[in-house]
């Protein structure tokens, strides 16, 4: 029962966070449009300008991978502490699985970073 409630709380908070992110993005877009209109551009020119200058999101894959790998190593340390201090094999397995998943995610994010980097170098972007 408590696992279900915890899951629902996490899902609810995630949905609220995404809605707030979308709201702030829309507000920023509106402010940019109003600023360009205040400068004297027509609405059609503003829409063309926004279409031409779409925001290209550069996601920090490398930084995220470093954080995830660091967290995974800390989970490995916690796993061994739990194993030898508490002698709890099930909790040890859980932390070990979390460590393995985190290391795999971190490595895959680093691969994505280097693929994007070589792609940009080849295309001049």
27: which 2 tokens?
């507000």
pLDDT, tens digit, for every residue of 45-54? Answer: 767 766 776 6
The whole-number pLDDT of residue 57 equals 58
The whole-number pLDDT of residue 100 equals 93
pLDDT, tens digit, for every residue of 61-109? Answer: 888 889 899 999 999 998 898 888 888 899 899 889 999 999 999 999 8
Q: What does each C-alpha distance from 35 to 21, 43, 44, 48 come to in angstroms?
A: 21, 11, 14, 15
Tell me how long the chain is.
125
pLDDT, tens digit, for every residue of 8-62? Answer: 787 788 888 888 888 888 888 788 778 877 887 777 776 776 677 665 556 788 8
4: which 2 tokens?
């279900």
What count of other Cβ atoms lies within 10 Å of the Cβ of residue 68? 20
Nearest to 116 by CA among 68, 72, 66, 56: 56
Nearest to 28 by CA among 57, 48, 55: 55
């Amino acid at each position: 029962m408590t696992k279900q409630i915890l899951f629902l709380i996490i899902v609810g908070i995630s949905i609220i966070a995404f809605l707030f992110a979308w709201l702030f993005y829309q507000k920023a877009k509106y402010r940019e449009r109003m600023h360009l209109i205040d400068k004297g551009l027509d609405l059609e020119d503003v829409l063309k300008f926004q279409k031409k200058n779409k925001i290209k999101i550069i996601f920090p894959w490398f930084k995220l991978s470093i954080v995830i790998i660091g967290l995974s190593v800390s989970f490995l340390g916690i796993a061994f502490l739990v194993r030898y201090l508490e002698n709890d094999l099930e909790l040890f397995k859980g932390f070990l699985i979390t460590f393995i998943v985190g290391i795999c995610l971190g490595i895959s994010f680093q691969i994505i970073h280097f693929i994007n980097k070589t792609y940009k170098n080849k295309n001049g972007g």
